[in-house]
Amino acid sequence: MNKLWKGQAFTIAHADEGKFEGQGLRAFFEYRQLGIREATGGKYGAHVIRAVPGRHSEGAWHTHDLDFQMVYVTRGWVVFEYEGPENTTHEHILRAGSCVLQPPGIRHREVKHSDDMELIEITSPAEFATESVDAPE
């Protein structure tokens, strides 16, 4: 049994030992888990997401039922569209070094991305529901 500190186990994930898998929320992305879900008993999740070259987003509006979601782009670029005040929408181009905090329940969609796009996503909890929704008017 691993020793726990305040309910968390010590963990390290090395890129050269990691494996990207296609089973994730979006078929046009691959995901490499960083071991955070297991180390925190599911309270938090963290993974690297990279684009599958030649595959593109369907641009579907959705929300997530979670408490925290942060995205940090490490390579390439990605365009997201977010719900704004009074049912407006705002498109944002995130590039390497860009960081976004997506508030719980905000309507958003991934519009397009570069073939070399890679980002880190941190969530709480690790597992959460995603719901398809109508676009803001």
Residue ranges and CATH numbers for the domains of the chain are: 26-95+109-132 (2.60.120.10)
Q: How many Å is the Cα radius of gyration of the chain? A: 16
Q: What is the pLDDT of residue 46?
A: 97
Q: What is the pLDDT of residue 25?
A: 59
Q: What is the pLDDT of residue 48?
A: 95
* C-alpha distances out from residue 120 to 48, 69, 74, 85, Å: 5, 10, 7, 27
Predicted confidence (pLDDT) per residue in 101-134, tens digit: 999 999 999 999 999 999 999 999 999 999 999 9
Q: Which helix (H) or strand (E) holds 118?
A: strand 118-124
Which residues are CB-neighbours of 16 under 8 A, at least 6 positions away?
Answer: none
Q: What is the pLDDT of residue 65?
A: 97
How confident is the prediction along the chain (137 residues), in pLDDT tens digits per residue? 568 888 899 989 988 888 887 765 567 789 999 999 999 999 999 999 999 988 787 889 999 999 999 999 999 999 999 998 887 889 999 999 999 999 999 999 999 999 999 999 999 999 999 999 999 87
**Is the whole model's pTM more than 0.85, yes or no?**
yes
